Amino acid sequence: MRVEPVSPEVVVRRLTDRVDADLAGAAPGRRWRVVLDGAPPTLPGDLAEALVDPLRARGHAVVVVAAADFLRPAGVRLEQGRTDPDALLDDALDDAALVREVLHPLGPDGDGTYLPALRDAARDRSARARRTAAPAGSVLLLHGGLLLGRRLPADLTVHLAVRPATLARLTPPQDAWRLAAEERYRTEADPEGTADVVVRVDDPRRPGWVVER
């Protein structure tokens, strides 16, 4: 593996360039689905927000969706308790709803009308969001953790990688139970081996762009 030291600004610029080039080679009006995957301490949502303005400057409308807004009802995802790592990996995300309401509508055969959020997990009730039309040529930035290995349809997948020891250090004590889910995820989904782009963020101020795997 060869890792090229870069800056956070270079990561954003390279991802913007990649999406812009991909869309330039796609059918006119094609929407592009980007999955930004990483454990909570890697802040994939912050990367999504950092990409919004650069992509808009290239002429692309941007849709940002949080996977955390597509969790199953508490009665399903917390059936084994609030700190069960297997339930976090296997039962928390409503994969089918995410595909049905977001990824398929914004794909090549979709009508471009998507649901921004499905469920308010904190209140355990419907988010009551209305379907929204994404313009032709839009870029979807779907961010969250434990997303790869689920066969979610996407045009570009990005994984923010950290070493297990780094993740353990950055994870708050009350969330330490999540580490077993992350370890299982690394073993079963192999996000570093399957993502289109891997960025190492053990030190977020000095990320590493993985250029050979």
HEC profile of the chain: CEEEECCHHHHHHHHHHHHHHHHHCCCCCCCEEEEEEECHHHCHHHHHHHHHHHHHHCCCCEEEEEHHHHECCHHHHCCCCCCCHHHHHHCCECHHHHHHHHHCCCCCCCCCEECCCCEECCCCEECCCCCEECCCCCEEEEEECCCCCCCCCCCEEEEEECCHHHHHHHCCHHHCCHHHHHHHHHHHHCHHHHCCEEEECCCCCCCEEEEEC
Which tokens in the block code for residue 151? Answer: 């066969």
CATH of residue 154: 3.40.50.300
How many domains in the chain?
1
Handedness of CA 52, 47, 100, 107 (dihedral sign): positive
**pLDDT number for residue 22:** 96
* Vertex 71 angle, CA 66 and 77, to 5°: 150
Phi/psi of residue 33, nearest 5 degrees: -105, 115
Return the biggest CA–CA distance within the chain. 49
Q: Which residues form the domain of 25?
A: 2-212
Per-residue pLDDT of the chain (213 residues; tens, 9 = 90+): 899 999 999 999 999 999 999 999 999 999 999 999 999 999 999 999 999 999 999 999 999 999 999 999 988 888 888 899 999 999 999 999 999 999 999 999 999 999 999 998 888 888 999 999 999 999 999 999 999 999 999 999 999 999 999 999 999 999 999 999 999 999 999 999 999 999 999 999 999 999 976
Could you give the dihedral angle defined by the CA atoms of residues 19, 14, 189 and 180, in that order, rounded to the nearest 10 degrees? -130
User: Contact, 191 vs 149, CB < 8 A?
Assistant: yes
User: Residue 179: is it exposed, middle or buried by C-beta count within 10 angstroms (0-12/13-18/19+)?
Assistant: middle
The Cα 5–Cα 47 span in angstroms is 17
**pLDDT number for residue 213:** 62
